[in-house]
Amino acid sequence: MVRQSPGIAGAEAGPTGQEAAAGPAQDGGRALVALLGADQAPLLVRPFFANGDPGPIIAALAQVPELLEVTAPFLGTVLGPSAVPIRTKEMVILRTSAQASCRYCVEAHTVVARDVGLSVTEVKALRSELDAATVFPDPDDQAVMGWCDALVGTGPVGPDAKAALRACFADHEVVELTLLVTTTLLLNRFCTALDLPTSPDVLVRLDAEGLR
């Protein structure tokens, strides 16, 4: 069984199997593909369901076992515990997802961000609902958010974003943060294209904290 970060399971776990076969998505439509449950998944990928609902990303990837077998370990490594603090990683994931307008990832990672200690005000700033420079005065935090914003765009990355990041982080951290942003973008487009459903538990948390 691969290591799974909160970005793959945990807060993102949602309905799979018969209750979510091709949906329902939060906009009232349905997921583009059937989200397989443990009883429907091919034998090769059933270990991914051994600890319960693995979430819609895994449930969708289970449609293609050979892809799930290689993608899940990669995602678990990139999104999971590493030399970069979990607070910083969740800042990257939430900021990138908000800039990419991924409803599913923003909702799921708002909850994860709160669970790792980011405040409601910080979460709102990462989602561009408050001024980020005011909420995050630390140069490291500002450099990380600027890097996310720069990579979500198209074309060459500007020199200002590069200089700010290099001033705050070592080479290995720059590489990891860059891979984290770009992997998050991959997931943003995957989740948005397939219209993956947000877990009802996540929606309850968002409503309770005024973050929906």
* Separation between Cα atoms, residue 3 and residue 116, nearest integer Å: 18
Radius of gyration of the chain (CA): 17
| Ordered structural domains, the chain, with CATH | 10-79 (no CATH), 86-208 (1.20.1290.10)
Tell me the pLDDT tens digit for each residue of 101-111: 999 999 999 99
CB atoms near residue 201 (< 10 Å): 12
Task: Provide the residue type at 156 as one letter.
Answer: P
Supply the pTM of this predicted model.
0.88
Residue 48 buriedness (CB in 10 A; 0-12 / 13-18 / 19+): buried
Q: Is the pLDDT of residue 75 over 80?
A: yes
Please give the residue that has the higher pLDDT: either 25 or 176. Answer: 176
Q: Name the DSSP letter for residue 18.
A: G
HSE value, Cβ hemisphere, 13 Å, CA-based, for 152: 21
- Farthest CA pair distance, the chain: 51
What is the rounded average pLDDT of the residues 84-91?
Answer: 97
Q: Which of 16-20, 67-71, 199-203 has the lowest mean pLDDT?
A: 16-20
